[in-house]
Amino acid sequence: MPSITDSSSKKRKVTKSTGAPSSKRRAVAEEDVFSETLSKVQQLEEQIAESRKYYNNIATLLTMLNADNSAKKPELAVAVSLCRVFSRLMAAGNLSESSRDAENEKIVVTALTLSMRLMKETVSHFEGANSSVWSGLFRNIIEALVEARDGEEVRGEFLTKFVKEYEDIRFHTFAQIADYAATRRKADIMEILISLLSACDEAPGSDHQIDVESFFAVADPNNKRLRTVHGHKRRAQDAWLAILRNNLSQAQRKALLRIMVHTIEPWFTRPELLMDFLTDSYNEGGATSLLALSGLFYLIQEKNLDYPQFYAKLYSLLDADLLHSKHRSRFFRLLNTFLASTHLPATLVASFIKRLSRLALNAPPSAIVVIVPFMYNLFKSHPTCTFMMHREIRDKDFAADIEKEGYEDPFDPLEADPTRTNAIESSIWEIESLQSHYHPNVAAIAKIISEQFTKQAYNLEDFLDHTYQGMVQGELGTGEKPLRKTPVVEYQIPKRIFTDRLLQEDGGVDSGAGCFMRGFWDFS
Amino acid sequence: MPPSQLKQLKASLRETGVLGPQQSKKQKRQNAKSGVGAQNRNQRNAALQAIRDRFNPFEIRPTATRSKFETTTRDDAKSTKATGRRPGVTKSLGEERRRTTLLQEMNSRNKVGGLVDRRFGENDPTMTPEERAAERFARESQKKMRKESMFNLEEDEEEFQLTHMGQSLTLDGTAVDDFDGGDLGGAESDNDEEAPRKRKRVGEDDEDDEDFIDFGEDGEAQPERKKSKAEVMKEVIAKSKFHKAERQQAKEDDDDLREELDKELPDLFAALRGIKAPAKPEPPKQDLDTMNPERAAMLREPEGKDSEKEYDQRLKQLTFDKRSKPTDRTKTEEEKVEEEAQRLKKLEEDRQRRMRGEQLSDEEEEQESDKDSFFQGEGDEESEVDDAAAFGLHTQSYEPRPELAVEDEDDFVIDDDLVETRSNVSLSVDESDMEEEEVSGEEDGEESDEEDELINGMTLPTAGSATTSTAVQVNQTADGKLAFTYPCPENHEEFLEIIENVSGQDLPTVIQRIRALHHPRLHPDNKAKLGRFAEILVEHVAYMANELAEPSFSIIENILRHVHSLAKTHPINVAMAFRARLREISEDRPLSLLPGDLVVLTGVSTVFPTSDHFHSVTTPAHLCLARFLGQCSLNGVSDFVTGAFASSLCLQYQSVAKRYMPEFINYTLNALCNLAPLDMPAKHLAFPLRKAQQSVKLAPTKKVMSRKLQFRDVKTVPSDAQAQEDLKFSLISLYVSLLDTASDLWADKSAFIEIFTPIHSVLTHIRQCFKNKLFAAGRDHVQATIDKIDSHLAQSRLARRPLLLHNHRPLAIKSAIPKFEENFNPDKHYDPDRERAENNRLKAEYKREKKGAMRELRKDASFIAREKLREKKERDAEYEKKYKRLIAEIQSEEGRAANEYEREKRERAGKR
């Protein structure tokens, strides 16, 4: 791997440069003590490099690093040697492999902390090493993090301790992920990347000040991007784009679409870049289209995106599965916004009404209770469409014709263009039929279209989230409660329920209650 | 020139009658007596005041504002109001009031104690001393007459009395007259002479007056003292009591006589019939008439007591007896039949009304009020009106849905939770609680069919028939082991214990016996027991269908009919039991119904009217079915069998009301698509297609036969491949016939075309598939169904008309009539905001009161200052006087001394 060679070359540099200051200091005082520790550190380090069995020396080095805070000099040496050790370890892939068992889990987290600290030290002490550290050591860290198996804990640690705390870490993380995701990756890796990115902090507002003092490592004075919100956003945008361009599974695509407006969109300085992804998703059809709608709507609304055939596409989304989908409420909320304009052509609105009423014939009650008030609102804002409820034929000949042959439904259900379906010439017999729905409440709601339109509008939100479970519970309640009214009992006890009991009395013809069941089934 | 002031004054005095002709002495006296004098005095004062006002125009101050021109809006009453104030009068009134209150306080400041004269009329100048005395006396006697306390026993002794000179002033007559005492002696001779005359007058005047106040003047001297009121009353009471007793006596005598006559009545009857009754021994006749009636009553008492007692008993019996009513005429057969038909017709009409969602007339008001309170409650709870709530859709806070209920077609979760949890908690069985039956009744074996009550007419066995019928019963049941008495179970476990050793065939008999033994007529507790028993039976039906491998449907049917008949008497219990089952279904296994659930749902359809617009049992049952059909898992053939049963149930439910069930259509089409040997061409499907988890397609390899599906197919899927294919084939034909029936049911729906066009296409597809020779058996059936649907579609096309839903009267344009105020008064405040108006009113009142109080305080202060100044002046004047007196005294003394000195000097000088 090229990264390994990078880091090893840097390592060499580091060792060289540490040599110089230490030789100077040695001349001042406490030469013996210092050289002793130094040699000890070096010895330990060599041992670690030599074999796995000396890995305990890492702990020793750590204690040395932590123990004498007062003595500045040896710390540096220890740190440097630790840096070398971990770099080597990481290069060997030990870090990611060691996460296999629980005991090593702690070591991994410690390793992460240490390497981060190491990185900080390196950046602060070596001039010019800045960019090389970020693109070298930090890149290794990110890669190890992403590829670590069962690395949930480390990643969580990384996110909470570093990414959310320090803005520069976040900046560089975005940059590295953008790099990393530029090549095609496996699906599970993508999953990790998406979760990492979406867990990053909220996007900073435009008036947010990037505080250089709060950075994790000393900032590179040349890197201007690091100091502006725009630069940060740019990195995030790159990272997201890299992910969106990568191969995504259907589920990932849906997940991304679901977080699009709230999580991804704010990071984008140029949301137009999302356009391709969104339109692709929208054209895909099915649930993906439904989910892409909100993102697309955001672009249309905010960025003046021109989406030709938007309504045609929206119309095509109204298919048989829509009302049974779990995104039904979400879709209806959006549909309510899209059709809210009173400037839409009545033919188009009529098509939507007709299509919805067709779908209502096969819809669960929870969907019907949304559709009818929605329709009511549409009728209220587009009075031209009310012909669908009430059409008097003035033409005498035509009326006679209808009287003779019946009224042919002019609606063309197969027409894709909502402005050409002729729906406005049709009637909503479907809703009229639903007025005899088996559920009394649904039937009552369906009846609102044949009553006077006195109410200004129905609040759609009240009708959206009903379910079978809720309806059953509404009828039955959760516990035993006395009935408000004595239930009526069928006045006649049937002669037979399952069997052919006393059939000969009725002359062998089975009629009366329950004859269907006995006709279809054989109870014996 | 007007006359002089003096003349005017005199004239006006004469006019008002202040000055007038001299009254005679007698007149004066009479006036004084009748109180005219006081009245006159008042009148005269008023008149004098008026005259004073007239002659002193400066007393009246005109209103501050000058009067305005007459306008229409100005209040008439106000303009005619008194135009002037009288500052002098008000001032003097205020002064007077201060003098009585403030001055008193001022004087009694720094002083403790004092006397308050509370004697009646002490400060009333309009009363003469005589009047005062009379009034006081009247009050005193009134107080005595009026018994303040009902329980005051010692009123006579302890009562406070008016006294004069240590003597009480009572009317008892025992009082010693003042003038009797010798202390006055003859010194008052003129008084003595006057006294008789006085008394005489008094006696004449107040002859009939009950309220006459006797001063007790020499009462002793009179030969017959006038009776006091109390005495008179006592006499009257005594008299009336006496008369009453006499009347009673007479009545009692009459009664006795009547009784005697009554006793002789049977003899009379006997005489009329011409038979002589044996002469009764004559009771020892007492000569009651001659005796003292009271004594006679005493003698009669012992025999009277018994008869009275008996009489009381009879009376009580009579009061509790039902009044006899004219009984209905025995009806002829035809009439009976007609009546029955009428009853059924009425019940059917009621059912139709419920179906249309109308309320029955007698329930209407109750419902209305219910509704009101319901909505009010709603409104109180949340200020924000939920549109959906008006339709009965309440957004409750549902507990998080269990995962098994997934609504999405994308990711359908298979519900594997088929383990039934029996939810009934076993109550602690208390054997001793079970009552010992006392009756061992038995009824004839089979219940009569046409009876509504399954056990009617066999509940109350007569003692005589019991043994014989028992014998018959034993023979009929063919095993002597069946017990005749069973305890009424308290819960299902107990019931299971009871029927542990009972064979399935005998179960109906056992149930019948339990019902008969615990008929409500036998014991008041039995009603509750049977209610509980009905619940247990519902549970047992589900239990039987679930647990038994081969449930006998004739038995289940019998039990369900028992449940039905119990439901007529215990509708609440049965409904609650069914609801509990439904709740269990919806909570534990909404998407995978057990056979027991299917049987329970079937039971619902027979016991309760499924056609009702809203029904507390059938509506949730509908929802349960629809939910199952809409979301159930499609795993294998068995799921489709269960679904087929549920679909048939849907049709069964809608057989009368013909309501539309989208879930039924969806499910049936899905099932057909899944079972069809070939895939449907993936065209524009109007219904959401759900693929079964594993393919259940009919394999086009073997010849299959159709058969009628059996309920046991729900439980067991044949392992044999051929049988399985047969089952699939039968399922297809069942679904097709379901659609066939459905097309009949919903033929007159306005959207029939829209509903059945997709069905048509699916059926056509099935027909296409059945072209294969192997499926020849089902071809005709499918073709027949398609033909039927075709004809229905054609019918429906012909009948289709554009919708005319809004033949309402056009709504009137909203008009806002300006609110005119009649009799507008600019002085009044017409603030529509009541709260603000009230506020303003209070503010104004506060201001007014504050001003008034300040003015009063200021006046008080000036009054006090004035009074103090006056006192000081008085004191000063007194001092001055005293000083002057002393000076004068001294001066006079000095003068005298000087004179004396002078005299002395002169004398001395003279001497010299």
A390, A441, A495: residue with CB nearest B449: A495
A373, A451, A502: residue with CB nearest B449: A502
Which amino acid, A139? Answer: R
Most confidently modeled range among A23-27, B60-64, B415-419: B60-64
pLDDT at A69: 47
Most confidently modeled range among A139-148, A437-446, B351-360, B565-574: A437-446
pLDDT at B847: 96
Tell me the H-state helices in B408-491.
Answer: 463-477
Most confidently modeled range among B102-106, B705-709, B820-824: B102-106
The residue of chain A with its CA nearest to that of B545 is A523
Do residues A472 and A496 share a domain?
A: no
B357, B752, B754: residue with CB nearest A358: B754
B344, B387, B615: residue with CB nearest A487: B615
- Is pLDDT of B450 > 60? no
Q: Is residue A495 part of a domain?
A: yes
B310 C-beta neighbours (distance < 10 Å), count:
10
- Is pLDDT of B243 > 90? yes
Which tokens belong to B113? 């104690």
Mean of pLDDT values over B865-894: 94
Mean of pLDDT values over B369-397: 49
Most confidently modeled range among A87-101, B165-179, B488-502, B879-893: B879-893
Do residues A405 and A500 share a domain?
A: no
pTM: 0.59
Which tokens belong to A444? 């009552």
Q: Which long-range contacts (CB under 8 A, 24 or more apart) does B786-793 make?
A: B786/B760, B788/B740, B788/B743, B788/B744, B789/B739, B789/B740, B789/B743, B789/B756, B789/B759, B789/B760, B789/B763, B790/B760, B792/B743, B792/B744, B792/B747, B792/B752, B792/B756, B793/B752, B793/B753, B793/B756, B793/B757, B793/B760
d(CA A10, CA A17): 11
Chains A, B: CB contacts within 8 A come to 327
What would the pLDDT profile of B580-595 be if each residue is shown by its tens digit? Answer: 888 888 888 888 888 8
Most confidently modeled range among B128-137, B683-692, B835-844: B835-844
Do residues A444 and A516 share a domain?
A: no
Q: Is residue A10 part of a domain?
A: no
What would the pLDDT profile of B509-560 be if each residue is shown by its tens digit? Answer: 888 888 888 888 888 888 888 888 888 888 888 888 888 777 788 888 888 8
Residues of A numbered 454-493 whose beta carbons fall under 8 angstroms of chain B's beta carbons: which are they? 454, 458-459, 462-463, 465-477, 480, 482-493
Alpha-carbon distance B533 to nearest alpha carbon in chain A (angstroms): 17
| Least confident residue range of B330-334, B454-458, B731-735 | B454-458
First to last CA, chain A: 76
Q: Is residue A405 part of a domain?
A: yes
Residues of A numbered 291-350 whose beta carbons fall under 8 angstroms of chain B's beta carbons: which are they? 320-321, 323-326
Contact B401 A497 (CB under 8 A): no
d(CA B255, CA A284): 111
DSSP H/E element including B61: strand B61-62
Which tokens belong to A472? 């059953």
Mean of pLDDT values over B453-458: 45
Contact B686 A458 (CB under 8 A): no
Contact A362 B688 (CB under 8 A): yes
- Is pLDDT of B413 > 50? no
| Polymer length of chain A | 524
B617 vs A255, more confident? B617
The residue of chain B with its CA nearest to that of A505 is B449
d(CA B298, CA B451): 65
For B84, phi then psi, to 5°, come to -120, 160
d(CA A314, CA A344): 14
**Which segments within B535-682 are labelled E, that is strand?**
none
Contact B751 A433 (CB under 8 A): yes
Do residues A360 and A470 share a domain?
A: yes
Q: Residue B853: which pLDDT band, with cuts at 50, 70 and 90?
A: very high
For residue A272, give every residue at least 6 positions away whose Cβ sits within 8 Å of its Cβ, in sequence order, or none. A299, A303, A305
For chain B, percent of residues with pLDDT exceeding 70: 71
- Is pLDDT of B571 > 60? yes
Half-sphere exposure of A246 (CA within 13 A, CB side): 27
Within 8 A of A474 by CB-CB distance, chain B residues are 392-394, 396
Do residues A364 and A466 share a domain?
A: yes
Contact A467 B398 (CB under 8 A): yes
Q: In sequence order, what DSSP letters do the residues of A24-44 get, joined into one string? A: HHHHHS-HHHHHHHHHHHHHH
For residue A447, give every residue at least 6 positions away whose Cβ sits within 8 Å of its Cβ, in sequence order, or none. A435
Do residues A361 and A433 share a domain?
A: yes
- Considering its fold, how many domains does chain A have in total? 2
Within 8 A of A520 by CB-CB distance, chain B residues are 644, 648, 708-709, 734, 737-738
Q: Is residue A518 part of a domain?
A: yes
- Is pLDDT of B442 > 50? no
The ipTM is 0.72
Do residues A430 and A472 share a domain?
A: yes
Alpha-carbon distance B454 to nearest alpha carbon in chain A (angstroms): 9
Contact B841, B79 (CB under 8 A): no
Do residues A402 and A503 share a domain?
A: no
Residue B526's nearest CA partner among B562, B564, B488 is B488
Do residues A394 and A439 share a domain?
A: yes
Region of B738 please: left (phi>0), alpha (psi -120 to 50) or beta. alpha
For B163, phi then psi, to 5°, come to -130, 160
Locus of tokens 């008036």: A207
Contact B805 A390 (CB under 8 A): yes
Do residues A356 and A411 share a domain?
A: yes
Contact A365, A437 (CB under 8 A): yes
Q: Which residues pair with A522 in a beta bridge?
A: B710
d(CA A293, CA B58): 95
Cα-based torsion angle of the residue sequence B660, B662, B665, B671 in order, rounded to the nearest 10 degrees: -150
| Least confident residue range of A111-120, B110-119, B507-516, B800-809 | A111-120
| Least confident residue range of A80-84, B78-82, B776-780, B899-903 | B78-82
Q: Is residue A240 part of a domain?
A: no
Mean of pLDDT values over B860-885: 94
Contact A320 B687 (CB under 8 A): yes
Alpha-carbon distance A314 to nearest alpha carbon in chain B (angstroms): 16
The residue of chain B with its CA nearest to that of A450 is B805
Q: Along the 524 residues of chain A, how does pLDDT read in single tens digits? A: 333 333 333 333 333 333 334 444 444 444 566 667 777 777 777 777 666 666 667 777 666 665 544 444 556 666 666 666 666 665 555 454 444 444 555 666 677 777 777 676 666 666 565 666 666 667 777 777 777 666 676 777 777 777 776 777 777 777 777 777 777 777 777 777 777 777 776 666 666 666 666 666 666 666 666 667 777 777 777 777 777 777 777 777 787 887 777 777 777 777 777 778 888 888 777 778 888 888 888 888 877 777 888 888 889 888 888 888 888 888 899 899 889 888 999 999 999 999 999 999 999 999 999 999 999 999 999 999 999 988 888 888 888 888 888 888 899 988 889 999 999 999 999 999 999 999 999 999 999 998 888 888 899 988 988 888 888 888 887 777 777 788 888 887 877 777 777 766 666 666 666 777 777 887 77
Residues of A numbered 147-166 whose beta carbons fall under 8 angstroms of chain B's beta carbons: which are they? none
B332-362 exposure pattern, b = at least 16 Cβ within 10 A, e = fewer: eeeeeeeeeeeeeeeeeebbeebbeeeeeee
| Polymer length of chain B | 912
Q: Is residue A429 part of a domain?
A: yes
Mean pLDDT of chain B: 74
Is A437 in a helix, a strand, or coil? strand
Domain boundaries, chain B: 227-277+288-300, 440-603, 633-801, 875-912
Q: In sequence order, what DSSP letters do the residues of B750-761 get, joined into one string? A: TTHHHHHHHHHH
Domain of A520 in residue numbering reads as 489-524
Within 8 A of B571 by CB-CB distance, chain A residues are 486-489
First to last CA, chain B: 85
